[in-house]
Copies of this chain bind each other. A is one copy, B any other.
Amino acid sequence: MEDLILPDKKVSQAKDSKTIQVFAPATVANVVCGFDVLGFAVNEPGDEVVMRVTDKPGITISKITGDNGRLPLDPAKNTVSVSVRHYLESVGQPHLGLDIELHKKMPIGSGLGSSSASTVAGLFAIKTLLGDDNDVAKLLPFAMKGEEMACGHGHADNVAPALMGGFVLIRSYEPLDVVRLPHPAGLYCAIVFPDVDVPTREARQIIRNKINMKDAVTQWGNVAGLVSGLFMNDIDLIGRSMKDVLVEPVRSMLIPGFYQMRDMAMELGAVSFGISGSGPSVFAFTRDEQTAHNITKKLQAFLTGIKINSNSYVSTINDKGPRVL
């Protein structure tokens, strides 16, 4: 990562433009077979950050909404301010005065990349305020610093698609190598978040460290099939490939009724069904919007029946990533 040394006039511009409001999208990481290497962005839900240049050096967080008091206002502990601070240091403006409002518009701990959406919104806000013309992908290492703090693991399968939009492959972490993948235009995503507690840290810890080579071969055959299906616009191949013999069998135990929900979704015509990130959200790909709505309706009714609250979202894949509101 090269340092981005920006001219002083850019910072003056930033002070003039005062306030910016940015949306960044939720993301589905892993995409069933692609544990830690695949992810895509959706149009909703997502988070919003309002950022204002101030005269007082340093970052403050003046307001967080939608988090039920769960997120820290302390800028040394919040993923948004921490990643923005790393960015400011890299561009030689460590003391720039900034005030941040964070508006959570999506559930925390949902497996939908909640911390990534906030972090990416913050980074895109400061990038835009400073008039930094570099590719958004250059923000990735800073976003990963935020993830490291939020999840105890600097993974990129949520932040990369939140930042770049679309379907993203993280081929390698050292060195970081990110590839944007195409996808069929008509693919819809139905997401249901069952409101049960599955902390990301714990969801990672239950995954086995040692696995069978045979299962790994099955998994990378499916990863290769999914990537091929995305390039070939072959929704059947995408569906056949979205099978996870390694992580889903373990993580699904933390999601009440997971296999029943999968059966319901597949019976209603889903292309595929699985856990979003580390859960508990689940998602299905469908060939049309109506099927996606039928699935969220059926799954939410099921969850209500077993006394679990839920949220749902229907969306195409978001190819744009963060945007100024």
Contact = CB atoms under 8 A, between A and B. Distances in A.
Nearest to A214: B209
Interface in A194-227: 207-214, 216-225, 227
Interface string A216-243: 1111111111011001100001001100
A12 interface: no
B220 A209 contact: no
A268 B172 CA distance: 25
Nearest to A223: B220
Contact of A224 (B37, B212, B214): B37
A5 to B, nearest CB: 27
Nearest to A228: B179
A8 interface: no
A11 B240 CA distance: 38
A169 B216 contact: no
Interface residues of A, number: 38
Contacts of A220: 34-35, 37, 216, 219-220, 223
Contact of A171 (B36, B179, B224): B224
A209 B216 contact: no
A196 to B, nearest CB: 25
A78 B38 CA distance: 44
A216 B216 contact: yes
B228 A169 contact: yes
B222 A224 contact: no
A231 B231 CA distance: 7
A170 interface: yes
Contacts of A217: 35-37
Given A224-B34, A237-B179, A207 B213 contact: yes
Contact of A228 (B172, B181, B208): B181
Nearest to A36: B217
A6 B216 CA distance: 40
A225 B36 contact: no
A108 interface: no
A221 B238 CA distance: 17
B35 A225 contact: no
Contact of A212 (B210, B222, B237, B241): B210
A213 B217 CA distance: 12
Interface string A15-44: 000000000000000000011111000000
